[in-house]
Structure formats: structure tokens, C-alpha cells
Amino acid sequence: MQALWMVLGAFFFATMAVAVKYASASFNTAELVLYRGLVSLAFLVVALRLHGTSLRTPVPLMHAWRSLVGGLSIAAWFYAIGYLPLATSMTLNYMSGIWVAAFIVGGGLLYGRAERQGPLLLTVLLGFAGVVLTLRPTIEQNQLFAGLIGLLGGMSAALAYMQVTALGRAGEPVERTVFYFALGTAVAGALGLLFTGFTPMDQISWQAAAWLIPIGVLATLGQWCMTRAYSRGHTLVVASLQYSGIVFAAFYSLLLFGDQIPLYGWLGMALIVASGVAATFLRERAIPNTPAEEH
């Protein structure tokens, strides 16, 4: 059942990315992050009432940290979606699994356990080789900055994923974890608007505004599914199936947007997926309690 929740969550996030892509033509990144949080909050208030879940939490600081790094990840990802092919932005976001492996390797080097980190280090190096290939088309199309922001989003997501696992182990229910993340997202978007401002209403069509609702709803459903999958424990199958989101995004990228990604771009994506799955396998085998991922 965990595998089903993961695939379903990946599908919801890939579909949400389509809505973000369309909406980004009319709204800036801070607005998209704010509206994503507000729509999710409205959706979650109803869900919390139906489940009778209290908002009182014994670990407010854990939720605050998860919201901070998760909010940065969402903002970076939304920005990348607006400027990069959908499949590329999705792949960079899914670098999170490789970033977790990089954190583990860094910790091993710091504490003198480098001899145990060889295979995991290899997956990290292969993953970053995939990044170079994936970002090469962005350099040729003057999109390197967006590519680097997308890469930063993947690193922030890795930190958020580890915190989600910690919240699950602390006994926090899925509904409350997702609610506080939505609240943090809305706050992050509002703070961003202090610098960017709102888009003038006369520049927004009702068709563009209509995309804001599915962004929030699909994000909430995806968050719910993936938090549920990972809060029940780390498994190799679940962690590997997160990469199905790249497959969904690739289909959308080709069919809806006609994105032209050269062969080496696709090779880079394949390297990132293969490295991510391998890193997950090595972490599972060597460190059974390694934090898992959730988008």
C-alpha cells in the first residue's frame, strides 16, 4: 500500500507542476507560493475537522524548521518550473535523494568513516554528472540561473524530507504535518510579496487565475499521499517509486508543452534517476534508519 501512495503522490505533484507552468505566465513565484498555501489551508481545515485532529502540537519547532526549508524548496521549484522544461525542473527537484546521500557522505568524512562511504560517494558523483548533462541545455538557452535555482530547491527538499521522517517518528499525524507545512508555505509566499508585489489585476485573465485552485488542491493531495507513505516507515520500494514523478513530468513535457530536450538532457535525467535509486538502496542496506523522502 505504501508503494501505491507514493506513485499517486508523484502523479499529483507532476500534475500540479503543469498547473504551475501555466499560471507562471501571469503570476510571479511569490504569488504562486502564497496561493498554493492558502488553497491548501482551506482544503486542510475541512479535512482536520472531519478527522477530529487537533492543531495543538508538542513539537512546534520541528514543524517550523520543516516549513522553513520546505518553503524554500517550493519557491525554488516553482521558479524553475516557470523557466525550464517541465521534465528538467522536475528532475532537478528529485535530486533530493542524492543530496541526502551527499549529506551522509559528508558526515562520514567529517567523523572519519570515509572508508565506508565509497559506493555511496560514487552514486553522488554520478548524480552530479547527471546534473551537468541535464543543465547543459539550460546553458545553451540562457537558462542556467533557473537551473541552479532548481538544483538549490532539490537540496532544500532533502532537508525537508529528513524532517518529515523525524515528525513521523515523533508521532505527529499526517493531517497536522501537512497543515503546518501549508501554513508555512503561505507565510513564505506573503514574505516574498514584500519584495515582488502583486501582479496588477488588469494583467490577469480569469483563465490564468483558474489555475491557482488546482495548484493548491493537487499539492495538498500529493503532500498527503507522500507523507502517509513515508510516515509509515522507510522502504526501498517506496523511496525508489518517488522517481515515477519524473516519468509523469516527461509525458506532460512532451505532450502539453512540446519541450525539445536533446539526447544528452535525457541521459542526464536517466543518470539522476539511476543514482537516486542506487543511493536509496545503499542507504537502506547500510543505515536502515536513514531519513526518507517526501515531496
- Per-residue model confidence as pLDDT tens digits over 70-126: 889 999 999 999 999 999 999 888 887 788 778 777 776 666 665 566 777 788 888
* pLDDT attached to residue 230: 65
Enter the C-alpha cell of residue 273. 534517476
Residue 294 covered by a domain: no
Residue stretches of the chain with pLDDT short of 70:
1-3, 108-117, 139-140, 230-239, 283-295
Residue 293 covered by a domain: no
Q: How far apart are the first and last CA of the chain?
A: 18
pTM: 0.86
* pLDDT attached to residue 39: 92
Residue 291 covered by a domain: no
Enter the C-alpha cell of residue 110. 567529517
* pLDDT attached to residue 294: 42
Structural domains in the chain (count): 1
Enter the C-alpha cell of residue 295. 515531496
Residue 57 covered by a domain: yes
Residue 208 covered by a domain: yes
* pLDDT attached to residue 180: 92
Residue 228 covered by a domain: yes
Residue 295 covered by a domain: no
Give the separation between CA 124 and CA 129, rounded to whole angstroms. Answer: 9
Enter the C-alpha cell of residue 82. 516557470
* pLDDT attached to residue 114: 54
Residue 1's contacts (CB-CB under 8 Å, 6 or more residues apart) are: none
Contact 245, 13 (CB under 8 A): yes
Give the separation between CA 276 and CA 243, rounded to whole angstroms. Answer: 8
Residue 129 covered by a domain: yes
CA distances to 33, 105, 279 from 96, rounded to whole Å, are 20, 14, 11
Place of cell 499526517: 174
Domain that holds residue 30: 2-286
Give the separation between CA 14 and CA 270, rounded to whole angstroms. Answer: 17
Contact 208, 25 (CB under 8 A): yes
